[in-house]
Chains A and B, each alone.
Chain A
Amino acid sequence: MSDREPALISINDLKVHFPVGVRRLFGRSRQVVKAVDGLSLDIRQGETMGLVGESGCGKTTLGRAILRLIDPTSGEIIFRGRDLAQLSNTEMRAHRRQLQVIFQDPYASLNPRMTVSQIIGEPLETFGLAKGEAKKQRVQELMEMVGLSSRFLKRYPHEFSGGQRQRIGIARALAVDPEFIVADEPISALDVSIQAQIMNLLDRLRREKNLTYLFISHDLRAVRHVSDRLAVMYLGKIVELGESRAIYANPLMPYTRALISAVPVPDPIIESTRQRTVLEGDVPSPINPPHGCRFHTRCPYAIQACREVEPQLVEIKPNHLAACIRISPEEPDIDRIAPGYAPGLRQR
């Protein structure tokens, strides 16, 4: 993917906050979960942008906010020159055709009382794209496209296996010829032998239909395989962004290093010899995220300044950004940095 590809979606300083706890009479609830907290990201035309992070980091909320399935608190989501965040619900409906979603759980996201042909045909009718014989034909075409026999037209979701159900969900998303698809953990609920099938299918469809994906997953092996670029999220913010290959080969952030090192490799020889960076503790609560760098509570390299200064996402290597005050273009390797050195402080 070249850098010159224009952004299909530009997210600027997006915030999604949820009030939690007891709401007092005449008062607003005091506590707020900052699920997405000032996040900016360009997703380029035709790319697969991987989004990884631990549970609770806000990756699903981000995906849903882009599609306005959750209303953002502030910030912009620019798609084709319009700010989706500002659209009324009616205006947004017209855009839904271009922006589709595939969910993790194909069991929960398909209506059990509808046949496959009704499920895939519904968006065609909703958007007035086809009806009658034309609709029937389009549904068959879509089923073939995702590798389902059109013999199954009249069957119900429970008659299918998990992988087949995910194919139905993909066919439904593709029915309206979208440009952009949020795939939220599309393979996590599937068997190993089926995961490869669905990854290959998604990749083939992207090339054939010039789709753009936001591929959300906690499975770093899968994300590395399918994504052109990768964004690593931690507590509502992007902490590292760059080409997938570059990030896997040379992760800059201590957090990304720990994530990658935590993934077991299917090779007993590598497993028995490699040194693993095991992170201590859990993800802190997003209600009161730590001050300064949000990762400092678990970071083996944290110094006093990390507790005070919030790091900015800056370019450390060409096209490879990280949010850490301790590294810089001059010395991107955190293991080689002098004690107490924090070049990122200068940028403020």
Chain B
Amino acid sequence: MARDILQLGSMRFTSRLFTGTGKFAAHAQIPPMLAASGSQMITVALRRIDSASQTENILDFIPKEVTLLPNTSGARNAEQAVRIARIAREAGCGDFIKIEVITDMKYLMPDNYETLRATEILAKEGFVVLPYVLPDLPLAKRLEAAGAAAVMPLGAPIGTNRGLETKELIALLIENCTVPVVVDAGIGRPSHAAAAMEMGADAVLVNTAIATAQDPAIMARAFALAVQAGRMAYLAKMAEESAVARASSPLTGFLH
């Protein structure tokens, strides 16, 4: 198999498993998780400081060779997302930005309209924009036209671990988008990640399922293997399904 590279902006990735830094019991779990996963991109969030808990710098736990993907979580509209993105870049976190604009606090559904507006602004400013969206094909095409580097449809609501509930809609994105499709949110098990990759997703982003596993490093490794398996199956072009049985052994020359 030729070297299988995923390019986003000017960066080339050999790992198709993106990870997140949320929900770990301790920051110290992040380096072994990254090592076990082989992940080359990881999300972080920006918040007002809480002086009581300001004891560690999360960036100290992320090796320099791993690309930071700051998110705009907390933004309720495009303007707030743009502001967070600019701050993250100014703070030295690079050009990558995951746009996350959420107005629905029950299901944490991304607001596709505000996300598109933020993408239009930030792509023009040279950001490598990865918008987190509900899988909606016309919207995905608008994001592409606006200069998004990828689209990141959710599989299921954030943190639910329910897998690919939006599978059919994600399939439309995979079929029709020219930018990479990264399944983000809802992936709860390695088998979900493998299924997404088998379908032709270009990458998956997994946070909760790894961070809240009893052993995040081992779970990270399990996800890495699942992503590789799913990707290889996709590249190998899977055999067709059939409604009826098709014998694997010859149907002639029986011994009776």
Do A and B come from the same complex?
Answer: no
